[in-house]
Structure 1
Amino acid sequence: MKPYHTYTVAKEHADLTVEEYLKQILQYSGRKIQKLTRQKGILLNGKPVYLQRKIKPADTLRVLILADTAHGLQPEPGIIEILYEDDWLLVLNKPAYQLVHPTGQTTSGTLANYLAYELQQRGTAGTVRPLHRLDRETSGCVIFAKDSRSQFILEQQLKTHLLKRTYRALVKGMIQPPSGVVDAPIGPHPNLPNRRAINPAGERAVTYYRTIGSFDGATLLELNLATGRTHQIRVHLAHLGCPVIGDAMYGLRTSWMPRQALHAAAVSFQHIKNGQEITVYAPLPADFSQAVDFCTKM
């Protein structure tokens, strides 16, 4: 028997068409609606229905739950730390040195490989959908949507800044002013293909920061992103003359922090079902905490 989501039409949604209800109220994408139509997966009061049919209060709309495929991602046993989970999404705590998803020559050992295996073991295997990514050396919160509709809704929250990402960074020097905003476009580096740089022809990038700890020669920052450009925080902080400690690409490695001291400390979003704001925190990993302790003793 095919699985369906079931919705009851409220009075305020009367006279919308089925298509309008799916797009505006349920936030299904046009592509998803096309797939549902091809599979006759939209039922109004138990019967197939045209998209332009108007709905009435108390009508029952049933929408087929489409089977997802893993798109070649190989499930692989491994340790994952689940910080939050509900019927629509998970928030995982990514350790440093692990990729979020296979890319380039790396096809195994990623957070997505391990999550795919976890879902397979539960008997709920489907597409692994990371909403955003972190650099290999950056630790902390990563959101994974469990289905395409949830992914679409969360992506809209990301675009409208309802979904917020908060970071911790330990940087070289004393940043001035102690709090502020960096609004500087980021684009390809003119000479180094793997790097990004402040570039007037690049895409707008906005980073908010505030000092939460000051040491002799180092500063602990809290940062929030209004945009999500590649290497954004690292490029912006280097632009201010305070590169992330341990960042070999935009700063310098150190013996006491052998990777970039950058951590995705929290994510906030609106619950997909009831709109309630939820904030999920990832504790500082041991190496980051030890680096902060080292700075306090310098």
Structure 2
Amino acid sequence: MKSIKSAILQETEDWVAINKEAGLLSIPDREQSAPSLKDLLIAAYGTIFTVHRLDRETSGVILFAKNESSHQFLSKQFEERSTVKKYNGLVLGKVYEEEGIIDVPIGPHPGKPGQMTVVRKGKPSITLFKTLEAFPLYSWMEFTILTGRTHQIRVHMQHMGHPIVCDPYYGDGKPFLLSNIKKKFKLGKDVLEEKPLLNRLGLHASSLQFTDRDGKAIELHAPLPKDLRACLQQLEKQG
């Protein structure tokens, strides 16, 4: 991340909202394998509290509290599901339903540590989806999650038969290439290998709504990153 300042979407004396880039951990992992967004915020602010998190490869809006009382106030809204969390995602295949609800329980995968799966005795998990644009091989979706399970959208879309593009756990993990959709694709002169338009999980936390401590409704929007914009532009161009 170039700088924390350039990634701030909005902040008050109580909280700071960041447009997280893909590939950056939200909070430190057990191995302390790489600097996290929380580490960068602690360096900038001194004290910071985790309110919620995004998967490492997911970009978009994430909220942190600046003090203990704000942390409790905001965390309660996430626990009580009074926040509205929306995501955009590029999925494999043409989704024919305009909108719908995926309501199937999610729990840890019995044979794959760190992965989740649809399981009868899992926790209740609800995802609303809208198909914004359907192309022959891909679909551009909007998701609203009513529960906050680990990898929820990714597991639910795998269950639906339309995994998120470039998902190494729940999809084929393959990058998004222009040659996949352009019929007469040719590599440029002296170019040995095609560069992917998208080489990370095709998921973006696009907006977050919550209530501030003074009762004010806050709505934050994170603009689409360059890689997802490029994919959409090419899909629309190729039809």
Give the AA of the match of 2:32: T
Check whether the contact 1:130–1:142 (CA below 8 A) recurs between aligned residues: no
Alignment gaps of 5+ in structure 1: 1-76, 120-124
- Structure 2 partner of 1:277: 217
Aligned to 1:193, which of 107, 113, 121? 113
SS at match of 2:74: helix
- Structure 1 partner of 2:19: 93
- Within 5 A, what are the aligned runs for 1:1-298? 79-80=3-4, 81-106=7-32, 108-119=34-45, 125-126=46-47, 128-252=48-172, 253-254=174-175, 255=177, 256=196, 257-273=198-214, 275-296=215-236, 297=238
Q: Number of matched residues?
A: 215
Q: Distance in 2 between matches of 1:190 and 1:271?
A: 40
Q: What CA deviation, in whole Å up to 9, does each residue of 1:78-99 have, x standing for no partner?
A: 6221101011111011100000
Q: Distance in 2 between matches of 1:194 and 1:108?
A: 18
Check whether the contact 2:95–2:134 (CA below 8 A) recurs between aligned residues: no
Identity of aligned residues (%): 33
Q: Distance in 1 between matches of 2:164 and 2:116?
A: 15
Q: Distance in 1 between matches of 2:81 and 2:30?
A: 30
Check whether the contact 2:131–2:141 (CA below 8 A) recurs between aligned residues: yes
Q: Which has the higher contact order (CA 8 A, sep 6+)?
A: 2
Check whether the contact 1:82–1:91 (CA below 8 A) recurs between aligned residues: yes
Q: Distance in 1 between matches of 2:22 and 2:34?
A: 16
Q: Distance in 2 between matches of 1:176 and 1:229?
A: 26
SS at match of 2:53: coil
Runs of 4+ displaced beyond 6 Å: none
Give the AA of the match of 2:36: T
Give the AA of the match of 1:291: C
SS at match of 2:200: coil
Q: Distance in 2 between matches of 1:294 and 1:190?
A: 39
Q: Distance in 2 between matches of 1:242 and 1:181?
A: 14
SS at match of 1:161: coil
Give the AA of the match of 1:116: I
In 2 relative to 1, CA 140–89 (structure 1 residues): closer, same or farther, beyond 3 Å? Answer: same
Normalised to the residue count of structure 2, the TM-score between the two structures is 0.86
Check whether the contact 1:216–1:295 (CA below 8 A) recurs between aligned residues: no
Give the AA of the match of 2:8: I
Give the AA of the match of 1:279: E
Q: What CA deviation, in whole Å up to 9, does each residue of 1:81-120 have, x standing for no partner?
A: 110101111101110000011112125421011111111x
Q: Distance in 2 between matches of 1:189 and 1:210?
A: 27
Q: How many angstroms does 1:188 deviate by? A: 1.1
Check whether the contact 1:93–1:139 (CA below 8 A) recurs between aligned residues: yes
